[in-house]
Structure 1
Amino acid sequence: MPPVFDDAEPNAAVLGSIYAAAFTPPPWHETPDRIDAFVGRLPSQAGSPGFRCLTAHVDGEPAGFTCGFTTPDPWPSDRLYRPIADALGGDTSVLGTRFEVHELAVAPRFTGRGLGEALVRRIVADAGPSWLVTSPAAASAVRLYERLGWSRLCEFDVPRESFRAFRVYLSPEDFAA
C-alpha cells in the first residue's frame, strides 16, 4: 500500500516516537532528554506563524514526519540561530524570507521507501522557498537534499552540541511536488 500523508494537528506522542526511532541510532545518538526536549518544543512551534506538519503513515503505522514554520522575525538567538547568523556575517536576510524545514524524520524500518523525499517535496511545495540545517555526518540526509537540488549556504561549528559541524541548505527556487 502506498503511504498516506496527513497534515492534521501534530500528535506529540506519535512525533516523539518517530523522532526517537529516527534520531537515537547513529549518527545522531539523541538522548532521552533531547527527545523529551523535542516533544516539549512542539506546542510552541505549532503556534508559530506558518507552522506546518506532515505525517506519513504506511499500512496505518506512523512512519515519518516533517515540520517547519516561517523563520521568526526578528532573527532568534537561541539554539542554532546565533551560530548561523555568525556564519553568515550577521546577514540572515536570505533565510528570513524562507520557510524553515525544522525537522524531517523517518523511522528506520521505513527508510528506503522514498518517504523522506516525499515529505520534503510536499512541505516545500506548499511553503515555497525554504531552508534547513543538518550535519554533514548525516550522510543519507545530505545525499537526499543534494539529490533534490538543495544548495549549501554555509557551514558552522557549535562546540556544545553533540555534533560540532552543521550545514545550512537552501531549497531550489523551483522546487515542486
Structure 2
Amino acid sequence: MPPVLDDAVPGIAALRSIYAAAFTPPPWHETPDQVEAFVERLPSQTGKPGFRCVTAHVDGEPAGFGYGFDTPDPWPADRLYRPIADALGGDTSVLRARFEVHELAVDPRFSGRGVGASLLRRIAADAGPSWLVTSPSATAAVRLYERLGWSPLREFDAPREPFRTFRVYLSPESPEI
C-alpha cells in the first residue's frame, strides 16, 4: 500500500518519534541530545518564510516526514551554512532564495516502500529550484536523491558535526554553477 501524505504539520511528539527512529541508527548515530536539539530547533523553523511540511503514514502509522523553507537571505552563519558557504568560495547565489529541503526522515520500519520518494516529491513540488544536504555515508538517501534526478553540487567538511563530510544536492530544476 502506498504512503498516505498529509500537508498538515503534526505535533512535535510525532516528529520526534520519526526523527529518532530515522537518525539514531547507523549511519547517523544521533544521540538523545541531538534528537532533543532537533525538537528545540523545530519551532523557529516552522515560522520561516515558505515553510512547508509533509508527513507520510503507512497502514495508519506515522512513517516519515519532510519539511523545508525558503533559504534565508542574507545567508545564515549557523550550523552547516558556514561550511557550505566556504565550500562554494563564499558565492552562495546558487542556493540563496531557493527552497531548502531541511529534513527528510523515514522510519526504517517503512523503508523500501516509496515513503522517502513520495515525501521528497511532495515537499519540493511547486517549490522551484531546491537543494538539500546529506552525508555521502547515507547511501540509501544518496541513491534516492540521485534516482529522482537530484545532482551533487559540492562536498564539504564540517568538523564539529557527527559526520565530517556532507554533500549538497540540487533538484533537477536547479541550475548548476
Both structures adopt the same fold (TM-score exceeding 0.5): yes
- Distance in 2 (CA, whole Å) between partners of 1:71 and 1:106 is 23
For 1:108, give the aligned amino acid: P
Instruction: Indicate the residue corresponding to 1:95 in structure 2.
Output: 95
TM-score (normalizing by structure 2): 0.96
Give yes or no for the alignment of 1:20 onto 2:20: yes
- Distance in 2 (CA, whole Å) between partners of 1:137 and 1:155 is 12
Give yes or no for the alignment of 1:67 onto 2:67: yes
Contact 2:2 2:113 in 1 (8 A): no
CA-to-aligned-CA distance 1:104-146 (integer Å, 9 cap, x gap): 0000100000110010011111312100000000000001111
Seq. identity, %: 80
- Distance in 2 (CA, whole Å) between partners of 1:11 and 1:67 is 13
- Distance in 2 (CA, whole Å) between partners of 1:173 and 1:159 is 31
For 2:165, give the aligned amino acid: A
The DSSP-based 3-state class of the residue aligned with 2:95 is helix
Once the two structures are TM-superposed, the CA of residue 59 in structure 1 deviates from its matched residue by 1.4
User: Comparing 75-84 with 93-102, which one deviates more in the overlay?
Assistant: 93-102
Instruction: Indicate the residue corresponding to 1:78 in structure 2.
Output: 78
Once the two structures are TM-superposed, the CA of residue 159 in structure 1 deviates from its matched residue by 1.2
Instruction: Indicate the residue corresponding to 2:52 in structure 1.
Output: 52
The DSSP-based 3-state class of the residue aligned with 2:56 is strand
CA-to-aligned-CA distance 1:49-89 (integer Å, 9 cap, x gap): 00000000111111000000000011000000000000000
TM-score (normalizing by structure 1): 0.96
> Which ranges of structure 2 fall in alignment gaps of 5 or more residues?
none
The DSSP-based 3-state class of the residue aligned with 1:94 is coil
> Which ranges of structure 1 fall in alignment gaps of 5 or more residues?
none
CA-to-aligned-CA distance 1:135-171 (integer Å, 9 cap, x gap): 0000000011111111111110111111000000000
Give yes or no for the alignment of 1:157 onto 2:157: yes
- Distance in 1 (CA, whole Å) between partners of 2:59 and 2:128 is 30
For 1:163, give the aligned amino acid: F
The DSSP-based 3-state class of the residue aligned with 2:55 is strand
Instruction: Indicate the residue corresponding to 1:135 in structure 2.
Output: 135
Once the two structures are TM-superposed, the CA of residue 19 in structure 1 deviates from its matched residue by 0.3
Q: For this pair of structures, how many residues does the alignment match?
A: 174
